Structure 1
C-alpha cells in the first residue's frame, strides 16, 4: 500500500489516496465506531491505459460493495459503504484479463472513513 498525495484516474486529478497492486487485499481494523467508508476507485493513469480490475469492499468478512470491471483510462468509480456496527474493513482489487493486470497500480482515491 502506497499512501499518495496527487494521483490521476481517467484523466481526473485527486489530492490524496492509496495505491495498491491490481491483485491486493488490505484489511483495516477500525479502532472506533465508524459509520461509512467512501472513495473513488480506479486504475491509475501511470499505466498509460493498460489494466483491467474490479474492486470490492468487505466488512467483517461480509461483501458489501463490488464494482464492475474498470479499465485503464476509465473514470473512477464512486464507493460508499455503510460500516455501522462493523469492526474491520477489507479493500480488495482483483485483476481481469492479462497477467500484467496483477501488477498494475490501482487507486482508492479520496479514501476516507467517517468515524466518531
Structure 2
C-alpha cells in the first residue's frame, strides 16, 4: 500500500493504523496539489520552511520512502538548503546543497524494520531562511 505524504493525517486526528505526522514534534507543513521545482510541475507534495523537521510514525511495516526534493519555484530561485531523512534516530540520507532553480533531487530510502521517520530541511546560511522547500511526490510504501 502506498501512502502519499500530502494526504497523511496528524496523530491527533488519525487512528494509528497508517503513517501519521506527530503534531508535537513537527513544524509547519503545507500539504499541496501542484508544486514546482526547477521549472518542473509535480502533481502533489509537501512544502515546508527552509528550517524544518517533521516526524512521522509509520504505525505499520514500511519498506521505503521516496520523494523528489528541491527549493520551491515560488521563491524565485532564492535559497540554498540541505535535505535529510532519519529513521529511528539514524541518518539514512542527506542531499548536497540544493539551490533555488535546481532540478529536483531524487530520494529513496529503505525503511525495513523502522518505526519512525524524521524529514529535515536546513538552510545553507542566514539569508536562505527566505526559501521554502518541497518534498514532491513524497510517498511511503508499506504493507
Coarse TM-score class (shorter-chain normalised) = over 0.9
Give the aligned partner of residue 119 of structure 2. 91
The structure that is strand-richer by fraction is 1
Check conservation: 1:23, 1:103, Cα contact below 8 A. no
Unaligned runs of at least 5 residues, structure 2: 1-28
Check conservation: 1:26, 1:92, Cα contact below 8 A. yes
- The runs of 4+ residues in structure 1 deviating greater than 6 Å are none
Unaligned runs of at least 5 residues, structure 1: none
Give the aligned partner of residue 109 of structure 1. 136
| 1:32 matches 2:60 | yes
Structure 1 residue 103 displacement after superposition: 3.9
Q: TM-score, normalised by structure 2?
A: 0.79
Measure the CA separation in 2 of the matches of 1:32 and 1:51. 36
Structure 1 residue 104 displacement after superposition: 1.4
Check conservation: 1:53, 1:70, Cα contact below 8 A. yes
Q: Which is bigger in relative contact order (C-alpha 8 A, separation at least 6)? A: 1
Measure the CA separation in 1 of the matches of 2:128 and 2:65. 25
Structure 1 residue 102 displacement after superposition: 2.2
Measure the CA separation in 2 of the matches of 1:48 and 1:27. 28
Q: TM-score, normalised by structure 1?
A: 0.97
Measure the CA separation in 2 of the matches of 1:79 and 1:51. 20
The structure with the larger Rg is 2
Give the aligned partner of residue 98 of structure 2. 70
Structure 1 residue 101 displacement after superposition: 1.6
Give the aligned partner of residue 127 of structure 2. 100
The number of residue pairs the alignment matches comes to: 115
